[in-house]
Amino acid sequence: MNLDSADAVSIAAAVQLGKVKAVDVVNATLDRIAKRDRQLNCFTTVTAETALKDAALIDQKIAQGNNPGLLAGVPFAVKNLYDIAGLTTLAGSKINAENPPATQDATAVAKLRNAGAILVGALNMDEYAYGFVTENSHYGATHNPHDLNRVAGGSSGGSAASVAAGLVPLTLGSDTNGSIRVPAALCGVFGLKPTYGRLSRAGVVLFSSSFDHVGLFARSVRDIATAFDVLQGEDARDNVCTKRPVVETLYITSHVTSQNIDGLKIAIATDYFTKKAAPEALEAVQKIADALNISEYVSIPEAHRARAAAYIITASEGANLHLDKLKSRPQDFDVATRDRFIAGAFIPSSWYIQAQRFRNWYKQQVREIFQNVDVIIAPTTPISAPEIGQETMNLDGEEILVRPHLGLFTQPLSFIGLPVLSVPIQQKNALPLGVQLIAAPYNETAILRVAAVLEKMGVISAEIV
């Protein structure tokens, strides 16, 4: 099999059947990383030694007739805010590099490893997950595989770019205001932000606790669904990881191609989600609407205020988390991160309280929409990947800043913890874009069903570049 282009499910099946050794899969992965990552700058650490040891154990299990796990031999990597036993958790910062090594894996890392997946390293990100570009002053910018002069998006830029470049088939990221969906869209891969609290955040450096989500990147719907199944489950180490029962997504079976969307009501987000977007971003949404024959529209009320409230809450919570270091060693922060944290520290507490009150009201308004609609589609980003160092972009005749506005369409959704899958739309002779498939809390199955149908139709796809 061609290990460069195989998805995670294909690799696991081949390893389980003895068609390829896990050690050979990992060696091929390490070779790809060594050859390509000098240009891309996705990895901050490559765990070659432990990866090869883990792979050898998988091969040993198979030789002894034991079950090697659902993701046996699948290489994966994680955003460097996940704890990896024996490594210092950087969270994209210079300050955290002085911390002692983690004593145990983050829960999400442990679950993937327990399923037979092989951890091969940690990935670059915006400092403390506060950004949409992964232009990190300490560890360098991660480059978009589709155009090395452009950003990969952020803050999980290394996670998205490494999947798009074929370095690994599966990665973990985190999403506060769009940090999975934005880079997924700009790099042309699938990016899932599940329902808030659905997956454990234990062992993950937080940015804004009431917003932070654990999620993942992959090149196929079945990879997203399979890994999501593995990652589910209550965790006593994370007090927001809910006691909701594990829900079978139905895509890890051989019946994936037979899935349909009969009975699902799908609508297009209008108003706020059609403004300040490049024509091609709206065309990407229309491409999906045409393929599924969608003609219904919905308006999510006060989405612009939801985005403003999201900024207030995340800036306040993030600033409070780092306040001591902001006072004692501000010079050691990434300049872009530091200035926004300092601004957040000056937000009046009354604003924060009002934003939280609005959040509860807004949640109820959106809940009522989902009484009549199962899935909503909207652009993921207003534009395709901007150039590295680009400060502004022109939308609807207005010159606006790139960094804060790449999350224009993602923030109002993570604000109330909705599950969202960004699906890749490949454009001929142009950079990829993403479309968000949005559902009510705990209805990940609906968006995976829609994505599976679109993938089968060839409307969405993640191409290795």
Structure tokens at 73: 């031999």
Residue 55, SS3 per DSSP: helix
Structure tokens at 302: 């006060």
Q: At what angle do helices 335-345 and 303-321 cross, to 10 degrees?
A: 100
Question: Among candidates 193, 198, 195, which has minimal Cα distance to 183?
Answer: 193
Question: Among candidates 18, 239, 237, 253, which has minimal Cα distance to 109?
Answer: 237
| Cβ atoms of 160 and 146 closer than 8 Å | no
- Cα distances (angstroms) measured from residue 386 to each of 43, 151, 319, 377, 402: 21, 6, 27, 23, 8
CA–CA separation, 227 and 218 (whole Å): 9
Residues 6+ apart with CB under 8 A from 332: 94, 95, 325
Q: At what angle do helices 48-63 and 8-16 cross, to 10 degrees?
A: 50
Query: Which one-letter amino acid corresponds to residue 146?
Result: H
CA–CA separation, 279 and 290 (whole Å): 16
Q: Which of 10, 93, 179, 200 is catalytic?
A: 179
DSSP string, 425-455: E--TTS--EEEEEEESTT-HHHHHHHHHHHH
User: How far is C-alpha 130 from the geometric centre of its chain's CA atoms?
Assistant: 14
Biggest CA pair distance of the chain:
65
Sign of CA dihedral 322, 175, 9, 5: negative
Q: Which of 155, 159, 208, 414 is catalytic?
A: 155
Structure tokens at 223: 């990879």
Tell me: cis bond preceding 155? Omega within 30 of 0 counts.
yes
Q: Which of 79, 111, 193, 276 is catalytic?
A: 79
Strand partners, 141: 135
Q: What's the half-sphere exposure (Cβ side, CA atoms, 13 Å) at 53?
A: 4
DSSP string, 118-179: EEEEEE--SGGG--SS-EETTTEEPEETTEEEEE--SSSHHHHHHHHTTS-SEEEEEESSST
Is 155 among the catalytic positions? yes
| Cβ atoms of 152 and 39 closer than 8 Å | no
Residues annotated as part of the active site:
79, 155, 179
